[in-house]
């Protein structure tokens, strides 16, 4: 007998989202409380009773909206990724508008990316840790990254004539992966804490920017 195909992770979790005002406000407090607990603890080591206490809602009302803590966290991640995608759009538009040439565009991108990840680190850190065991959270995170990758490709390929690498799409993908993983590692994504140091952070941003712009402009295969 053929095995049933593996189902795709649910990419649009929404819980049983209420429409009416008072229930809606209670639902939003649940999400806010779960988000606060993730940021404070740096992981998902909390119970729904903690969410109920923090959000000033009953445990019964949580179970009316979510079957489990996993469902609640997946909705938090979905909301977070939607917001990140809006931020990413603004970030890429801003850096594209102010750049005079490829070098300034790439260095601006690296600076913007670093600060974007730092700003969102309190939620991204525990979510990346959870992604190792939660396919829905992992898939949502990948959706956010792919959105960023597509936007960066479009912005940098608009200056294709300034790119020295003879495979510009591959080169752009490479600098994004290098910059993203370098900053994510420094900020402790997927771990309980980072090794953030203000002086190191400034130097790291500068050096990664120089490295990425030099590679994109001069590398040949």
Q: Each residue of 3-24: b (16+ CB within 10 Å) or e?
A: eeeeeeeeeebebeebeeeeee
CA distances from 137 to 72, 119, 122 (A): 11, 20, 16
CA distances from 100 to 40, 152, 160, 213 (A): 41, 16, 14, 13
3-state helix, strand, coil in the chain (%, to 5): 75, 0, 25
- Residue spans in the chain of domains classed CATH 1.10.357.10: 75-218
pLDDT band at 6 (very low <50, low <70, confident <90, very high): very low
Domain 21-65 belongs to what architecture? Orthogonal Bundle (1.10)
DSSP letter assigned to residue 161: G
pLDDT band at 125 (very low <50, low <70, confident <90, very high): very high
- Read off the pLDDT of residues 146-169 as tens digits, 9 standing for 90 and up: 999 999 999 999 999 999 999 999
- Read off the pLDDT of residues 132-146 as tens digits, 9 standing for 90 and up: 899 999 999 999 999
Q: Which has the closest alpha carbon to 183: 105, 128, 104? A: 128
What share of the chain has pLDDT > 70, as a percent? 85
- Mean confidence (pLDDT) of the chain: 88
Domain 75-218 belongs to what architecture? Orthogonal Bundle (1.10)
Q: Considering the entire predicted model, what is its pTM?
A: 0.84
- Residue spans in the chain of domains classed CATH 1.10.10.60: 21-65
Residue with tokens 């712009």: 213
- Read off the pLDDT of residues 187-210 as tens digits, 9 standing for 90 and up: 988 665 555 566 699 999 999 999
| Ranges 5-9, 68-72, 144-148, 189-193: which has the least confidence | 5-9
For the record, the structure tokens of 216 come out as: 């994109």
DSSP assignment of 44-111, as one string? S---HHHHHHHHT--HHHHHHH-SSHHHHHHHHHHHHHHHHHHHHHHHHHHHHHH--SHHHHHHHHHH
């Amino acid at each position: 007998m053929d095995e049933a195909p593996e189902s795709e992770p649910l990419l649009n979790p929404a819980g049983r989202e209420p429409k009416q005002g008072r229930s809606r406000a209670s639902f939003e407090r649940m999400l806010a409380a779960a988000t606060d607990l993730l940021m404070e603890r740096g992981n998902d080591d909390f119970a729904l009773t903690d969410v109920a206490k923090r959000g000033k809602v009953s445990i019964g009302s949580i179970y009316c909206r979510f079957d489990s803590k996993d469902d609640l966290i997946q909705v938090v991640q979905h909301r977070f990724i939607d917001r990140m995608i809006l931020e990413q759009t603004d970030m890429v538009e801003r850096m594209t508008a102010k750049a005079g040439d490829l070098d300034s565009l790439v260095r601006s991108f690296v600076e913007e990316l670093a600060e974007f990840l730092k700003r969102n680190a309190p939620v991204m850190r525990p979510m990346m840790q959870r992604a190792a065991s939660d396919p829905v959270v992992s898939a949502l995170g990948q959706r956010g990254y792919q959105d960023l990758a597509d936007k960066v490709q479009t912005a940098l390929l608009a200056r294709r004539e300034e790119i020295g690498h003879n495979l510009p799409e591959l080169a752009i993908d490479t600098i994004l992966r290098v910059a993203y993983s370098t900053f994510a590692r420094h900020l402790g994504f997927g771990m309980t804490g980072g090794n953030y140091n203000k002086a190191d952070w400034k130097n790291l941003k500068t050096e990664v920017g120089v490295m990425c712009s030099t590679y994109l402009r001069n590398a040949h295969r």
